[in-house]
Amino acid sequence: MAILDKLTAETGQITLTKVPDSWCWGLSIDGVFNVNQTRKHIDAVVLPNTCIPTIWCKLVPLKINVFVCRMALNRLPSRVNLSSRGIEIQDIGCALCDWNVETIDHVLFSCQVASDMWRKLAGDK
Ligand SMILES: [Zn+2]
């Protein structure tokens, strides 16, 4: 009975009209779906709140910008990051060289395999 009384009290002030039902997008002022407002809402809710401003480089594909942003925030799934988030990893050592733990810095920059790859990409022999 208490639940019914509470429901009656809360719905008692609602006035129903004869206007047909319609869809209303709650993120915009006019109630119409808007990609820009939706993107801003998703950015505000999903993206990490950091002091680093997001400046996308328009010369490279979006996925590269996202990758660099995630790398800067240390959000790429290295073995150390996965382990620190509670995922059971048997070995957090680098899969390429096995000389160090697999951090983002190691895999992309200090690993010997990565260094050799960067050197080849730069055209050095
Ligand atoms: Zn390595």
Residues 70, 104, single domain; the answer is yes
- What range does the domain containing 123 cover? 63-125
Scored b (16 or more CB within 10 A) or e, 70-95 reads eeeeeeeebbbbebeeeeeeeebbbe
Kindly give the distance from the C-alpha atom of residue 96 to the centroid of ligand 1, in angstroms, as a whole number: 5
Residues 97, 123, single domain; the answer is yes
Q: What is the pLDDT of residues 36-79, one digit of tens each?
A: 888 888 888 877 666 666 677 888 898 998 898 899 889 999 99
Number of domain units in the chain: 2
Q: What is the pLDDT of residues 75-116, one digit of tens each?
A: 999 999 999 999 999 999 999 998 899 999 999 989 999 999
Residues 87, 118, single domain; the answer is yes
Contact of 93 with 101, CB cutoff 8 Å: yes
Kindly give the distance from the C-alpha atom of residue 48 to the centroid of ligand 1, in angstroms, as a whole number: 28
Q: What is the pLDDT of residues 1-46, one digit of tens each?
A: 688 888 888 888 888 889 888 888 888 888 888 888 888 888 888 7
Residue 124 has a pLDDT of 77
Kindly give the distance from the C-alpha atom of residue 70 to the centroid of ligand 1, in angstroms, as a whole number: 20
Kindly give the distance from the C-alpha atom of residue 105 to the centroid of ligand 1, in angstroms, as a whole number: 10
